[in-house]
Homo-oligomer: A and B are copies of this chain.
Amino acid sequence: MQKLEIKAINTDIQRWLAVAADNVRQHLSEQLQVQTKSGRNDLVTKFDKVTERFFVEQIRQNFPHDKIVSEEGFGDQVHNMQGRVWFIDPIDGTLNFVRQRHNFAMMLALYENGHNVIGYILDVMSGDLLWGGPEIGLYLNEKAITKPDNKKLAAGLFGVNGPMFAYNKENIQEIALASSGARILGSAGLEFYQVVLGRQVGYASRLAPWDFAAGKILAETAGLSVTTIDGRPINMLKSQVVLATTHRAFAEIQKMRQA
């Protein structure tokens, strides 16, 4: 896609995000009707559904030929990355949303023929929006941001998933303890946000496509590495353990895993 076209789409997307976030913030004090999905801590609320449906409607109206991968089932069955593919995570960090009414994100991402186009992570309660892509650069709200330093693992904090850390899945304790310290934020979007802004040296977690699609575009635009935990390319259409980190820390982690 051309830069001009991306800029036009960006204007649309930012407007959708503002509307969706306002809607959630306005109804935040309401009693939530929380449903469980795969287990007692895999939750969904009407806000996940309403927000996803809103984004799906906007995309269908404006870009009827595009495909949509989304968390709550309003999107399409997408079998390949040909053409334009959108990824929607209406409320990322649903547990935080339900338990805290804080520390959750909305995420949107657009790919074309498998290539990064543009990604968005909106910290709904602070209102801060991290967005960008390879053609247009990286922004926090209105401000262009610089790429983070290529730090080594010991020079930064490392975000992990709670159960993976407790059970030491993928030897993730060794990685996190070799960093300055482990952090668990409970939202993939907010973890990618920290990594892209250079506040964490990396993040690893088992994630679904809508959890990592926006973060991958932003992190790669920021010059970071985004792969599976064992260093292979990401498959955009399945769940996997994703590693987003600096290139130096990536090399250290792969060395640790092969040791």
> Which A residues have a C-beta under 8 Å from some C-beta of B?
40-41, 95-96, 99-103, 126, 154-157, 162-163, 165-166, 168, 173, 176-177, 180-186, 194, 199-201
Contacts and interface: CB of A to CB of B under 8 A. Distances in A.
Q: Which of A162, A163, A166 counts the most B-chain CB atoms under 10 A from its CB?
A: A162
Looking at chain A's contact residues, is the secondary structure mostly helix, strand, loop, or mixed?
mixed
A99 B177 CA distance: 15
Given A100-B200, A157-B100, A176 B182 contact: no
A204 to B, nearest CB: 14
A199 B154 contact: no
Given A182-B162, A182-B166, A156 B99 contact: yes
3 closest Cβ pairs, A-B complex: A100-B199, A162-B182, A184-B184
A99 B157 contact: yes
Contact of A41 (B95, B100, B181): B181
B199 A176 contact: no
B40 A154 contact: yes
A222 to B, nearest CB: 15
A119 B158 CA distance: 31
Contact of A157 (B126, B186, B194, B199): B186
25 contacts: A95-B157, A95-B181, A96-B157, A99-B157, A99-B180, A99-B181, A99-B199, A99-B200, A100-B194, A100-B200, A101-B199, A102-B199, A103-B199, A162-B181, A163-B177, A165-B165, A166-B166, A166-B168, A166-B176, A166-B182, A181-B184, A183-B184, A183-B186, A184-B184, A185-B185
Given A157-B186, A166-B176, 12 more contacts: A40-B154, A41-B180, A99-B181, A100-B157, A100-B199, A162-B176, A162-B177, A163-B177, A165-B182, A166-B166, A166-B168, A184-B184
Nearest to A40: B154
Contacts of A162: 176-177, 181-183
A183 B168 CA distance: 16
A180 to B, nearest CB: 6
